[in-house]
Amino acid sequence: MLNLALKKWRAKEASLGVWSNLPDIHMAEMLSRMDVDWICFDLQHGLMDYSDLTRLLPAITGVDTTPLVRVAANQPDQIGKALDVGAQGVIVPMVNTAEDARRAVSACRYPPMGTRSCGPMRDAMLEGMNYLATANGQVACLVMIETEEGLRNLEEIAAVEGVDGLFVGPMDLCYGLGLAPGSFTDPAFVSAIADILKACETNNLASGMFGYNAEMAANSIKNGFDFASIGTDISFIRAGATQALQTAKGDDAENAPTARGGY
């Protein structure tokens, strides 16, 4: 099992992906075949649950797009089940301390590096038990920095062995800093981003940003992030339908809604 997205991140190559909130097998198939590096299925805020993963992940098997799952919480059972069903990495929310980070890493790694229980259902079916020999080096463990506590403990979190990258949820980071949602140009937010990028560089970690649209993703990569999402399946549908309706009505382009910039 070669994790192509993780390979790019380790080489510090820019990487773009998409975010999936809808439990639609056909949408997942289409998005994974659009030359993106990764697709993340969201169990924290998406409209899907674990049973949906048993259909969505097989739908993108055989393509180069790396399947990731944002788990609902930093719990070993949730992380293990996401990996067992075929995810090649997890994004773990609300990691506020080094101990939180160690718990996430441990759930991602088989002994002696961690405490992941052995039961790689889909991977064993596809690769046989050879999966066990490579999984510890190919499963990506990405932890989210999105609170004031997480920022206070940033250096300790980034130094935890086995963490592959830090991932930013920008809206929650705004909340964590006591800012209004979308305050991406506020000095406190900009300073926090700089600290996160520095921690990643110091510890040779990948840095990721949840991008709400293509402009935000491009700005994130330009400003030093290694990977970012270009939007969500829901946002793609909304934007396409909005544009189609405006075109059909003959609305002027200047009246079209503009994409949010910044981080």
What are the residues facing 8 on neighbouring strands? none
- The position carrying tokens 């192509």 is 4
Instruction: Mark whether 26 is an active-site residue.
Output: no
Q: Which helix (H) or strand (E) holds 164?
A: none
Distance CA 139, CA 148 (A): 28
Across the strands, what pairs with 228? Answer: 16, 209
CA distance 52 to 184: 33
Question: Measured between alpha carbons, how far is 7 from 30 in angstroms, rounded to an integer?
Answer: 23
Cβ neighbourhood burial of 77 (10 Å; 0-12, 13-18, 19+): exposed
Structure tokens at 162: 């086995």
Centre a 10 Å sphere on the Cβ of residue 104 and count the other Cβ atoms it contains: 29
Say which residue the tokens 């705004």 belong to. Answer: 174
CA distance 41 to 192: 26
* Active-site annotation holder among 12, 33, 45, 238: 45
Which residue type sits at 182? G
The residues that bridge with 39 in the sheet, in sequence order, are 18, 67
Contact between 100 and 157 under an 8 Å Cβ cutoff? The reply is yes
Place of tokens 């963490």: 163
Which are the catalytic amino acids? Answer: 45
